[in-house]
Amino acid sequence: MTNRNKTKKTIFIYATEGFNDRVIIKSDLLQRLKEKVDEIIVFYHDAEDVHYKKQFEDEKIKVIKAEDKKYKEYISRNKLYRILIQLRAYTHNGNYNTYIVDWFRNIFVAQNNWTKENGIKKRLIGYLWHGVSFIIKYSYLIRKTLTWFESKFFVTRPHKKYYKKYNPELVIVSALSGVVYNENFAREAKSFGAKVCTIMGSWDYSVGLGVPGFTPDYVSAWNKEMKNDLITLNDISEKTISINGIPYWDSRYNNDEIMAKDDFFSFYGLDPK
């Protein structure tokens, strides 16, 4: 664990693209964070993109290259880790409705030709995969052990120099599993003693991405339904979850950013009649 610099508050954000960016760094959330901390470091795989830097960098925000390539190389060297990723990806708490990950698992098995049409050996592999998944589904202890085991033994730290330099108080990611390299960044953060907050990047991240790849300190859910899915399907402690709505919709409730109907028609030269 690093020694914290108490005089300067720093947050790290792991930025991907699409939904995740829209929820975190392309929402009002970023502005609110700026009001609370001294500096925000955004890690992005193409940090040299001038357009991207122009969008976000200012006196408080700095964009740094995320070492996704090193995460990828690390995963490619660890066959057991790759297997565990796939096992988690298609498994949730079987005491509740898990039809989405069950469906995805059937597709995964078919894509690997582990079916009766491809011979007895591959058919047995398919049965084995379904069997192990079934055991994981109905064992809380095994699911939590998987998360602990990967968090303990499959951690790589390509951003070590930045953790040593900035000593962030909080690290923000957008998924508990499934979204490429999110869990790697979260585990790296926790290995340096930083707290990790997951701001859910999409409505289906709580029902379709499988067992979490790390244990978050905080989770921001969109609504009661998502909170319930996090607790029941993902084994997330209720005390770590807050319901904060959908960040990128906040601006729809800001009157300063909403154009009046008459102004809208006038701006686009439209006749309301």
Cα separation of 46 and 12, whole Å?
16
Cα separation of 121 and 119, whole Å?
6
* Strands, E assignment, 56-116: 61-65
CB count within 10 Å of CB 179 equals 20
pLDDT recorded at residue 1? 45
Give 103-153 pLDDT, tens digit per residue.
999 999 999 999 989 899 999 999 999 999 999 999 999 999 999 999 999
How many residues are listed for the chain in this entry? 273
SS (H, E, C) 31-63: HHHHHHCCEEEEEECCCCCHHHHHHHCCCCEEE
Cα separation of 232 and 96, whole Å?
7
Contact 225, 196 (CB under 8 A): no
Which residues make beta-bridge pairs with 172? Answer: 13, 197
Maximum Cα interatomic distance, the chain, rounded to a whole number of Å: 70
CB count within 10 Å of CB 156 equals 18
pLDDT recorded at residue 23? 79
Give 161-187 pLDDT, tens digit per residue.
999 999 999 999 999 998 889 999 999
pTM exceeds cut of 0.75:
yes
CB count within 10 Å of CB 149 equals 13
Which residues of the chain register pLDDT less than 70?
1-6, 17-20, 251, 254, 257
Say which amino acid occupies 261.
K
**Closest among 150, 139, 133, 134 to 213, alpha carbons compared:** 150
pLDDT recorded at residue 257? 67
The helix/strand/coil state of 112 is coil
pLDDT recorded at residue 47? 84
For 129, the enclosing helix (H) or strand (E) is: helix 120-137
For 66, the enclosing helix (H) or strand (E) is: none
